[in-house]
A and B are shown apart, each in its own frame.
Chain A
Amino acid sequence: MLEHALRLTARKSRELLHTRLSYRAQRYLFIYIALGIPLLYFLSTRMAPILYAFNVSVREWDLLSSDKPYVGLANFSTLFADEIFRKSIVNTFKFVIIGVPGQLIVGLAVALLLHNVYRFRGFFRTVYFIPYVTSIIAVSWVFRWILMRNGWLNEMLLNLGLEPQLFLQSPRQALLLITLTMIWQSTGFQMLIFMTGLEAIPRMYYEAAAIDGASAWRKFRHITLPLLNPVLVFSAVIGVISYLQSFGQVLSMTNGGPLNSTTTMVLHIYNLAFQQFKMGSAAAATVVLFAVILVLTLLQLKVLNRKVEY
C-alpha cells in the first residue's frame, strides 16, 4: 500500500519533472520570441542608426555625389561657426522654456477648474481634448490663416480700435505665437493627466486642512502640489522632449522666419539635409541634438529621483 503510494508519487513527480522540462523549453521559446523580436528590432532601427548617424557626422557627404570622404570633426566646427545653427539652439531652448511651463500651468489650471465642477464636466473634458487628436500640420495652417496680415485676428484688433500686429511676420512675436499654438494643442492631454492625479489625492487631506482653517492657496501649495509632484515631473520630462523636437508647426507657420527667429534645431537639420543636401553637417547637428536631449533627460531624471526620495 505504502509502496504503491510511493511508486505513484515517484511517477507523478517524474511526470511533473517531464512537464516542467518541456514547460521550461516552451517558456524560453516564448521569451525569445516575445522579447527577441522587439530587441532585434530596436537594435536595428534605433541603436544601429544612431551609430550610423555618428559615422555620417564625420564625413563630408553631399547627397547627390557618391564619394563621402572622412573629414573628422570639421562638420561640427562649421556647424558651431554657423550663426543660424547657434540661433536654432537658442530658439529651441526658448520653445522649451516657454512651452513646458506654459503647458503645465494651463493644463493644471484647467484641471483644477474642472475638478471643482460636476455639471458638464464630460462636455468640457471632450472639448478641451479635441485639439490633441488633430493633425499638427492642418492646425498650423488654420492658425496661419487666422494670424495673417489681413486675417481674422488683425481685423478684430482693428475693429476694436487697436493696432494690427505683424504676428507671424514679427521676429518678436512669431516664436511666442507658435509656442502658444503648441500649448493650445496639448492642453487637453495635460489636463487629463492632471485630473487623474487630482482624483488620486484623498479627499480627507483637504477636509483635515479645512478643519485647520487653511486657505485655498495653502491647500493648493501644501497638499495638491506636493502630491501631484510625480505627475508634474513625468509631464515635464515628456514635455521637454517634445518641445525640443519642434518642427511641424514651425515648418508650416513660418518656415523658420522671420530673420531665423523661429528656426529650431530640427528644422535646421531638415534644411541642411534636404534643402542643401549636406548630409554630413545634418548628421552632426543630429548628434548635437541627441547630446542635448540626453543631458536634459538625465538631469530631469535626477531631479525626479531626488523628489521621490524626499
Chain B
Amino acid sequence: MKTNKWTSTLSGLIILTLAITGCGSNNSSNNQTESTKQPAATDAPKAAETADTEKDVTIEYWQYEFPAKVELINELITEFQTLHPHITVKQTNFPYDQYNQKVATLVPAGKGPDIINLYYGWLPKYVSSGYLQPLPEDNFNAADIESNYYPLVDAAKIDGSYYAIPTAVRTLALFYNKDLLSKAQITELPTTWDQLVETSKKLTEVDAKGQFVIEGLAWEPGAQLHHWYRDGLVHQAGGQDLSEDRRKILWAETPAGLEAFQYLLDFAIKHKVGINGFYENDSNAFMTGHAALNIDGSFRLGSIKKDFADLNFGVAPLPSYKSKSAPSSFWANAIPKNVEGDKLKAASEFLKFLTSKEVQEKWVDQIGELPAQKAVATQDKYVNDEKLGPFINQLDDSRAHFFIDETQEKTLFVDATNEVLLNNVPVEKAFTDLVAKTQKLYDDYWAAVDKK
C-alpha cells in the first residue's frame, strides 16, 4: 500500500518535471532552429530545380482585403499566367485592421508570401525586423526608380536601397459637394487657407438645437487630417516635417508647426464647421451629403463610384498658404527575405508586370489610384480628367512622410487633438506634448536600429 502511494506521487512528480522541462526545452530548441531551418528547407528544392529551369513555380501574393483591388489582382494574375505559363500566382487577403497581426503570425510559421503588399508607413518596421530583402537590382535599380517614379516613392528607400515598389500612389485633395455649394451660392472654390475657412463657415448648417445638419468641412483627425498636417499644412506654412536623417521631428523648429496645428484645430474649436464622429467619419458624412467639403484621397473616387454613384461632387487641389504641398501615400509590393532561387525570379517577374504601364492604367480605371510613374500619370487623358486631374497636378508638390509606426504616430496626433477638444488643454501645450511624444517614438526606433 505504502509503495503504491509512493509510486503514484513519484510518477506524478516525474510527469510534472517532464512536462515542464520537456515543453520548455522543446520550445526553445524549436525557436533556435527556426531561423536555420527555413533557409535549409528552401535550399533543398532549389538545388533540384536549377537542373530544370522551366520547372513550374508557384508564388504567393498577399494584400489586404479591398474588394476592388482583390478583383483587379485576380484579373491581372490570369493575364500574367498566360504570359508566363510556368508561373502560378496565388492571392491571399487579410482584413486591413488585422493585416499586420496576420502577417506576423503566418511568417514565423513558415507560411509567408513571396510578394507582400504593404502600406509604405509600415516598411521601416518590417525592414528593421529583417523581414524584407531589397528589390532585385536587375529589374529595379535605384537610378531607374528615381528617374521614372514620383519622388514620394523615396519613402520606400531605407538604408540606401529600395525595399518596395508601388503600382499606384494617392494624393489628397479637396472634395466638394456641388449641390451644397450651389445651395449656399458659392461659385469660387477656396484656394488659400483663409478662403477655406470662409467657405466652410458659409457652408455649415446648424439646426435650432445647435446640432450640425451639414458640416462645412468634415473634420476627422483619425482619417486624413494627420497626413494633411504633416505633408500639407506644416510645409505650406514654411516648416518641415522631419530632418534629412529621419531622426528629428522638426515641427517645433519653426513657428510653422504650431501655426498649422492651430489652423487645423480651429475648424473644430473656433469656426465650428465640423466635428469628429459626425455620421461615423468624414468620408461617410461627405458621401451621404452631410458634409459639404472634405479632404480625402484619390482612393475614395472608386468607392464613391461604386456605392454613391448619384453624389454630385467635384475635386479641387488643396488650398495653399505660403507654398503648395499635398500629402501622398502608397501601398507598395515588397519581397520577403527568405524568397530565393526560382521563386525570387518569378516574384521579380510578377512585380515587373505589376509596375508596367498597362497595369498602372488599369489601376487608375478600376481603383482610382494614380500611376506611380510620371510618364504614365501625365498623359492627357488623366491630366484633363475632371476628377483625376486635380490629384495628378498635385503630385509634383506632393510628399509622403516617413513613418516609424503609422498606427502609433496617428494615435498620438488624434490624442493631441482630443486633449484640446475634450480636456480643454491649451493648443500650445497639446502641441508641445505631441512633438515630444512623437520624437520619443523616433528616438526609441533609432536607438534599436543603431544597436543592431
Contact = CB atoms under 8 A, between A and B. Distances in A.
Q: Do chains A and B touch in the complex (CB under 8 A)?
A: yes
B202 interface: no
Interface stretch (B67-75, B101-109, B142-150, B383-391): B101-109
B254 to A, nearest CB: 28
A44 B23 contact: yes
Given A43-B15, A48-B24, A51-B24, A169 B100 contact: no
A86 interface: no
B259 interface: no
A275 B122 CA distance: 11
Contacts of B310: none
Interface stretch (B77-85, B160-168, B170-178, B275-283): B275-283
Interface string B121-165: 000011001110000000000000000000000000000000000
Contacts of B407: 275
A275 B105 CA distance: 11
A66 B415 contact: no
Nearest to B36: A66
Interface string A252-282: 0000011110000000000000111100000
A173 to B, nearest CB: 10
A148 B19 contact: no
Contacts of A48: 19-20, 23-24
A252 to B, nearest CB: 11
B129 A68 contact: no
Contacts of B15: 36, 39-40, 43
A209 B98 CA distance: 61
A65 interface: yes
A66 B38 CA distance: 11
By size class, the interface of chain A is 35 or more
B24 A169 contact: no
Contacts of B275: 149
B423 A259 contact: yes
Contacts of B422: 166, 170-171, 258-259
A171 B423 contact: yes
B211 A277 contact: no
A259 to B, nearest CB: 5
Interface string B1-28: 0001000100010011001100110011
Interface string B166-209: 00000000000000000000000000000000000000000001
Contacts of B279: 149-150
Nearest to B125: A277
Contacts of A199: none
A40 B35 contact: no
Given A65-B131, A169-B277, A260 B100 contact: no
Contact of B19 (A44, A149, A277): A44
Contacts of A257: 414, 418
B408 interface: yes
B65 interface: no
A31 B4 CA distance: 13
A260 B415 contact: yes
Interface in A64-95: 64-68
B34 to A, nearest CB: 6
B323 interface: no
Contacts of A149: 275, 277-280
Nearest to B126: A64
A274 B8 contact: no
Contacts, number: 93
Contact of A275 (B12, B101, B276): B101
A31 B12 CA distance: 12
A66 B34 contact: yes
A295 to B, nearest CB: 23
Given A48-B20, A64-B107, A67-B35, A158 B209 contact: yes
Contact of B418 (A55, A150, A171, A276): A171
A44 B20 CA distance: 7
A83 to B, nearest CB: 9
Contact of A39 (B12, B104, B418): B12
B409 interface: no
A137 interface: no
Interface string B254-267: 00000000000000
Given A40-B19, A44-B23, A169 B276 contact: yes
Contacts of B16: 43
A170 B19 CA distance: 48
A65 B129 contact: yes
Residue in A36, A148, A171, A258 with the greatest tally of chain B CB atoms within 10 Å = A258
B31 interface: yes
Contacts of A68: 31
Interface in B22-79: 23-24, 27-28, 31, 34-35
B340 interface: no
Given A52-B27, A164-B211, A65 B130 contact: yes
Contacts of A24: 4
Interface string A122-149: 0000000000000000000000000011
Contacts of B405: 276
A258 B422 CA distance: 9
B397 interface: no
Contacts of B98: 274
A44 B8 CA distance: 19
A47 B20 contact: yes
Contact of A64 (B20, B104, B414, B419): B104
B415 A259 contact: yes
A260 B423 CA distance: 13
A68 B32 CA distance: 9
Nearest to B1: A24
Interface of B: 4, 8, 12, 15-16, 19-20, 23-24, 27-28, 31, 34-35, 98, 100-101, 104-105, 107-108, 125-126, 129-131, 209, 211, 275-280, 405, 407-408, 414-415, 418-419, 422-423
Given A43-B20, A63-B129, 13 more contacts: A39-B12, A48-B19, A51-B20, A51-B24, A55-B28, A63-B104, A64-B129, A66-B34, A148-B280, A150-B278, A169-B277, A259-B419, A275-B100
26 contacts: A28-B8, A31-B8, A40-B19, A43-B19, A47-B19, A64-B107, A64-B108, A64-B126, A66-B130, A67-B35, A148-B277, A148-B280, A149-B275, A149-B277, A150-B278, A150-B280, A158-B211, A164-B211, A166-B422, A169-B276, A169-B277, A258-B418, A258-B422, A259-B419, A260-B415, A276-B408
Query: Which 7 residue pairs across A and B have the least CB separation, nearest first?
Result: A66-B35, A64-B129, A43-B19, A48-B23, A274-B101, A149-B277, A64-B131
